[in-house]
Amino acid sequence: MVYNDSVKNRVKRIEGQIRGIIRMMEENKDCKAVITQLSAARTAIDRTIGVVVSSNLIECVQKAEDQGEPRMEDLVKDAVNLLVKSR
> Residue 63 belongs to what H/E stretch?
helix 31-66
For residue 87, what are the CA distances in angstroms to 24, 32, 34?
26, 23, 21
**Once rounded to an integer, what is the mean pLDDT over residues 5-31?**
97
The reply to whether CATH 1.20.58.1000 applies to domain 5-85 is yes
**Residue 29's pLDDT band (boundaries 50, 70, 90)?**
very high
The string of pLDDT tens digits covering residues 37-87 is 999 999 999 999 988 888 888 787 777 777 776 677 777 778 788 777 776
